[in-house]
Amino acid sequence: MEWLLATHENGRGPVDQSDESQRERKGLDLRGTDLRDEELDGLPLAGAVLTLAHLEGANLTRTHLEGAMLDVSHLEGTILIQAHLEDTNLYNAFLNSATRLDGIVLSNKECRTAYLADMHWGDVNVTVVDWSAIPILGDEHTANRRVSQDKYRKIRD
């Protein structure tokens, strides 16, 4: 995985979401990948496409997943302790009581917040999440954006 990150985009390396000029870059395309029980602790996976990925039991402690696509991914038993999930799409992702969410970061000062619509929470312990640190969810932010005069296109804030 480290080699893939280092050679991403002809050696440009992983996406750094703290650098505003890189926020539009695409991360690694790992859709459908089987990463069960892998040690991914602290890796820079910002912007990665992990749609339909199997991450059951993977260690993603302190992993940077800002802007990643984790839609319809399997996170049952995944360790996400102190993971950065700002602006991450978790639409229809699967979690269970073994999924560790202690200290996850779902929002930042730019109001870039995770998208949590239709997540399959199962019996996950959401009491370990500091919900007071989240002013608005990404889904709510998108829904509240102004609409253009034709009422079909959202006006970018």
Task: Write the pLDDT tens digit of every residue in 87-146.
Answer: 999 999 999 999 999 999 998 877 688 888 888 888 877 777 877 777 777 777 777 776
Q: What's the rounded Cα separation, in Å, for the pair 136 and 117?
A: 13
Task: Write the pLDDT tens digit of every residue in 38-47.
Answer: 999 999 999 9
Provide the whole-model pTM.
0.79
Residue-averaged pLDDT of the chain: 86
Q: Are 105 and 88 in contact (CB under 8 A)?
A: no
Q: What is the percent of the chain where pLDDT is above 70?
A: 91
Q: Which two tokens stand for residue 113?
A: 């917040």
Fold of 1-17+25-157: Pectate Lyase C-like (2.160.20)
Q: Where are the domains of the chain?
A: 1-17+25-157
Backbone phi, psi, residue 98, to 5°: -85, -10
